[in-house]
Structure 1
């Protein structure tokens, strides 16, 4: 009996010593107990210091008066000589090694790599210990981050970007066209757009569809549709364009431009036009001349400002869910800032305190009033300009998504000229879709070889 009691006492002492040393009985280092008077300076990776302070820093330090933040700017990653082909991935890892930030801002593919290399701290134990509410963070975002962490949650993402379909209800009514359903496919969207007239001069004619500022070209629309369908130009170092899926995407875009319901190029401007008049020619939906367009919350701000300037609502508009694809599994959102704790940080608790705050309820309550920011925490989802924001929160992703190959990330940009040329050939009836895809794939293979040579 005494022997058993002695062994039990020894076991308790061992457990207590282990916990006091910050070790978990389940293996690995544990997060130390919360200290309400956490102090000191932490390093946080971000785009630049001023934008960080405006968005997070001042609010965080107002809540944590004994803590200070040093910003490790990632802007230096984009400083390189003209003609130089930078290895951004290598530069990113070098920045982490040299600056040793406590909080790492990670791209979604870096999240996978850094987690696999043991650079990132598993947040789950701290979340459980602090009873930190992740139930009100968009479940699709949490699921996506866990998938990228191979089942573990290594990071949180305070904000995201998504798009919805904006429609001009007045134009639909004027031309006797039924309003589209809230779950439109890309094929249905384009067919609806092609029901609008294509007559009229530059000053007054309307357009069935517009892909948005700077994106209203055949090249950009093809990338928009292909991305929605989960299509990639490169798979495991090989170009894959001559497939039924790419052919379908190519045919959809070519058919739409052939119909004439999309404005191609810039509308002509004259020296006597005001700034507002010229701006409206570059933003045709906001000007009331487009039936449907894809847009992010920035569009809400534009429309609201126009109505305020006019003193009344210029036209009736609505927000619908973004077009879907048959699989329904393509990723239709981007995570703007993904914050993770450096597993080798000497300030684990302070670093976690920032990550927790940046995805917490208080900052979402304050910042969600800004109409052009989408916060992952849905508790404070706003109704903006009397419009329901739910379409922006209809998020999905491909659960079989493969990590992007950063070596070939610029391939689509390198192919802009050939894609534009070949699409125009199809639109003008001089080439078949099959011939155009073959020509693009040939050029893509050349560019792929050159990218391989540059990074070896």
Structure 2
């Protein structure tokens, strides 16, 4: 997610939160305030987040707490964070300094002398907290308060239950998701049936190969894993996410990549690039979508977005892309020179090995009650409020996040599209907590993937076969794992060593 998108998204979310607070007051929801908690005395509810900095509290309040505080006048909300990133922002880089263990800091916050009552986190942190018995089971709260969970999107509630071994330890008011967008006209022109829900990856890849055609700047591509170009290696990781392939064992001492599963993934993605089914960076830079052509500047407001430019038939994108497509349609109505894509959307393709699981559903605002909460009743009321129907009805106006209550999930602004495509599949389960801990204990583990990125490029350059590349990754990775075992924090010599600015785990 680029910085411009993050900024835009934050502005929209802040505006939405402010509108939410005003609307809640206007609807008289304050009736659920003073009387429900059983106390009219002024008291504090502490809400904890995994990370914070000087700028984040205002955002957290506008996004999560303002509406509650305005309708619960006897409650003062305090925001606390487990990790303050301002502490690192002004430090000089030190490659030998171990980075903070995020989960350890979360535990410290929750077990402190003045712990938060509510903790808001993503699914990976929740899974570890559940295993360590640090959050309360919400099933009894839901039953005793007759709290409606039947209206919550099945993929969301089932994803939460998967984390808690079929029990509910948290609720989330929103989720992020992706789907497969497709260009209806490209399929009609090619005389090929459009994609449908619940297709498998082999079926979609076959479609992509059939529809791709042309040469050079006239080339039409069958598929892309996002709206803009990306690194082929990371495309392979996006593609393989539901398979949860492991790069190394649970001790980080032995690589596990010279395996049929990895070979299938690398073969599939490299084949798509080599046959120009997916656009490469070179294709994006060839001048057909703006930039400089023969020393003349060419303006294109959709430069780099080949789906909007009508050159990619299918693209995996987030729900927020609906807003972009809507704005393009509005602009095209005013300016006939602007092309408007006639699009549809279906579920992200599935693997037969893990049916019903999609790779792009994210549960990042999970709200749980700390097992050591000093104010459990208000903590539950806060969670119930933020996950209630009134909140969802107002929040559903956003096109950047989806609300978890399906009765308020409707196409935006009178548009007609298959909104169920975004929430039919279950999310990929969180990564094994043992692997998370390895990355914390051995920060150098992220360097092992550097080897893979280079080798994947060599496959695309036809310098190596997939078999050769994976065997080399296995061999070099084993050597590096032994070096990391000896030196888990400091710089490594050779074999793909270096500094990674924004590490991303592979498993």
Q: TM-score w.r.t. structure 2 length?
A: 0.75
SS of aligned partner of 2:119: strand
Distance 1:153 1:101 in 2: 19
| Alpha-carbon distance, 1:389 to partner | 0.7
In the other structure, the counterpart of 1:375 is 403
How large is the Cα RMSD of the aligned pairs?
A: 2.9
In the other structure, the counterpart of 1:387 is 417
In the other structure, the counterpart of 1:44 is 47
Match of 2:319 among 271, 275, 297: 297
Does the CA contact (< 8 Å) of 1:103 and 1:340 recur in 2? yes
In the other structure, the counterpart of 1:124 is 139
SS of aligned partner of 1:181: coil
Distance 2:352 2:308 in 1: 30
2:241 corresponds to 1:241: no
Distance 1:74 1:331, change over 3 A: farther
Distance 2:70 2:125 in 1: 31
Distance 1:258 1:90 in 2: 44
Moved more, 446-455 or 114-123: 446-455
Distance 1:356 1:262, change over 3 A: same
Distance 1:366 1:50 in 2: 20
Distance 1:428 1:258 in 2: 9
Match of 1:154 among 137, 152, 169: 169
Distance 1:358 1:455, change over 3 A: farther
In the other structure, the counterpart of 1:58 is 66
Distance 1:286 1:294 in 2: 13
Does the CA contact (< 8 Å) of 2:212 and 2:221 recur in 1? yes
Distance 1:338 1:447 in 2: 36
Does the CA contact (< 8 Å) of 2:83 and 2:102 recur in 1? no
Equivalences for residues 103-122 of structure 1 within 5 A: 103-122=118-137
Distance 1:331 1:207, change over 3 A: closer
In the other structure, the counterpart of 2:369 is 341
2:389 corresponds to 1:361: yes
Distance 1:252 1:358, change over 3 A: same
Query: Where has structure 1 moved over 6 Å in runs of 4 or more?
Result: 398-401
Instruction: In structure 2, list runs of 5 or more residues that go unmatched.
Output: 1-35, 491-507
Per-residue Cα deviation, 1:100-148 (whole angstroms, up to 9, x for no partner):
2111123323323323433212222221121111111123332332332
Instruction: In structure 1, list runs of 5 or more residues that go unmatched.
Output: 1-32
Distance 1:419 1:383, change over 3 A: same
| Alpha-carbon distance, 1:214 to partner | 5.8
SS of aligned partner of 2:47: strand
Distance 2:402 2:479 in 1: 40
Match of 2:192 among 141, 160, 177: 177
Distance 1:272 1:112, change over 3 A: same
Match of 1:258 among 269, 274, 282: 274
Distance 2:242 2:445 in 1: 15
Per-residue Cα deviation, 1:414-449 (whole angstroms, up to 9, x for no partner):
345432332233233332211111122234334544
Distance 1:115 1:106 in 2: 12
| Alpha-carbon distance, 1:283 to partner | 1.6
Distance 1:325 1:416, change over 3 A: same
2:302 corresponds to 1:280: yes
Does the CA contact (< 8 Å) of 1:44 and 1:102 recur in 2? yes
In the other structure, the counterpart of 1:318 is 344
In the other structure, the counterpart of 1:7 is none
Does the CA contact (< 8 Å) of 2:357 and 2:425 recur in 1? no
In the other structure, the counterpart of 2:503 is none
Distance 1:426 1:185 in 2: 25
Distance 1:116 1:221 in 2: 32
Distance 1:398 1:70, change over 3 A: closer
Does the CA contact (< 8 Å) of 1:210 and 1:263 recur in 2? yes
Does the CA contact (< 8 Å) of 1:197 and 1:261 recur in 2? yes
Distance 1:232 1:351 in 2: 37
In the other structure, the counterpart of 2:182 is 167
Moved more, 281-290 or 252-261: 281-290
SS of aligned partner of 2:195: coil
| Alpha-carbon distance, 1:37 to partner | 4.4
Distance 2:135 2:368 in 1: 6
Distance 1:374 1:451, change over 3 A: farther
Does the CA contact (< 8 Å) of 1:408 and 1:451 recur in 2? no
Distance 1:345 1:228, change over 3 A: closer
- Number of aligned residues: 421
Does the CA contact (< 8 Å) of 1:369 and 1:382 recur in 2? no
Equivalences for residues 129-144 of structure 1 within 5 A: 129-144=144-159
